[in-house]
A = this chain, B = another copy of it.
Amino acid sequence: MIAYLNNTFMEEEKAVLQVGDLALQRGYAAFDYLRTLNGAPLFVDDYLERFFASAAAMHLQPTQTPQQLKQIIYELIAKNNLSQSGIRMILTGGFSPDSYTPTTPNLIVLQQPLQMPSAEKFEVGLKIITHEYERDLPEVKSINYLMGIWLQQKMKAQNAADVLYYKNGWVSEFPRSNVFIVTKEGKLVTPAAGVLKGITRMKLLQLVKGKTEVEQRPLHLDEVKGAAEVFMTSTTKRILPICQIDDVVIGDGKAGPVTTKLNQLFLELEEKETTSTTVV
């Protein structure tokens, strides 16, 4: 696979960084992840906007403009020629003389093949667990996944596919996904603050605007466990139903009708998007 590092495209094995970089020394780097479909990047401008916003929030100054990075992404896609893939962008704190103060960032762009969840996985839904935790700088997408990765052993031990964070009873997000519920009255609810604003989350909110009642507000874990349907949204998962949270079965324990309908709408949107953007 071809990768991009600073100003050069190269074989990924050759994309190496000196160990003095602040990402390695202090876990300090902005991050984002988008995917491609039919050889075109999906919602690329939204991801780029978020990536540059994360960089700015982290006081990192990219040496490229969003337009230049977009061009790099298109070149990378052309070079690797994958129909469906994930593209990872990392803007590091750079080679810091004191191993602490950010300096000129290093930019890494990587592409990998991506397998999206199957229709069968969607139908069965996911069992998840919960963990009391609040991400640092939750509205910034950084490489800080310490807690999410650390919790993998707990997830495995409980045969869970993911872990939902809450604090003082209030739900926020998964390590890499947003959470939605469908109330018994058919309303969509998702936490409004203290979460990473997912692009899939945003697109879904735009899709249902004016058609479904939506509330963006604090969401209690008890309300989640008592909801008619619960699902997660993310770039690599699209929309996936949650069938069990800790010991509580949600709804009838499989993909609910609203979740199924929303997933269908989202699939249509992404087909439309990538068909139209490839023409440009």
In Å, the complex CA distance between A143 and B26 comes to 5
What's the dominant secondary structure at chain A's contact region? Answer: mixed
Task: Indicate whether A253 reaches chain B with its CB closer than 8 angstroms.
Answer: no
Which residue of the partner chain B has the closest CB to A100?
Answer: B149
Contacts of A142 in B (CB 8 A): 27, 146
A17 in contact with B20 given A142-B27, A143-B26, A145-B28 (CB within 8 Å): no
Task: Indicate whether A216 reaches chain B with its CB closer than 8 angstroms.
Answer: no
In Å, the complex CA distance between A28 and B23 comes to 10
In Å, the complex CA distance between A19 and B13 comes to 8
Which residue of the partner chain B has the closest CB to A175?
Answer: B100
Interface residues as binary, A11-23 with B (CB distance below 8 Å gives 1, 0 otherwise) = 0110111111111
A27 in contact with B25 given A137-B150, A146-B144 (CB within 8 Å): no
Contacts of A12 in B (CB 8 A): 18-20
Task: Indicate whether A3 reaches chain B with its CB closer than 8 angstroms.
Answer: yes
* CB under 8 Å from chain B, chain A span 64-104: 88, 90, 92-93, 99-102
A64 to chain B, nearest CB (A): 17
A92 in contact with B146 given A15-B19, A19-B16 (CB within 8 Å): no
Number of interface residues of A (CB under 8 A): 46
A92 to chain B, nearest CB (A): 7
Select one of B18, B29, B58, B59 contacting A27, CB under 8 A. B29
Task: Indicate whether A158 reaches chain B with its CB closer than 8 angstroms.
Answer: no
In Å, the complex CA distance between A28 and B142 comes to 12
Task: Indicate whether A152 reaches chain B with its CB closer than 8 angstroms.
Answer: yes
Select one of B25, B28, B145 contacting A100, CB under 8 A. B145
Instruction: Please tell me if the beta carbons of B17 and A19 are within 8 angstroms of each other in the complex.
Output: yes
Instruction: Please tell me if the beta carbons of B137 and A24 are within 8 angstroms of each other in the complex.
Output: no
Instruction: Please tell me if the beta carbons of B143 and A137 are within 8 angstroms of each other in the complex.
Output: no
Instruction: Please tell me if the beta carbons of A101 and B28 are within 8 angstroms of each other in the complex.
Output: no
A92 in contact with B24 given A58-B150, A149-B100, A150-B58 (CB within 8 Å): yes
Query: With A3-B19, A137-B146, A144-B144 given, can you name 15 additional A-B contacts, CB distance below 8 Å?
Result: A13-B18, A17-B24, A23-B24, A24-B24, A24-B108, A25-B143, A26-B146, A27-B146, A28-B149, A59-B150, A88-B99, A99-B112, A136-B136, A136-B147, A142-B146
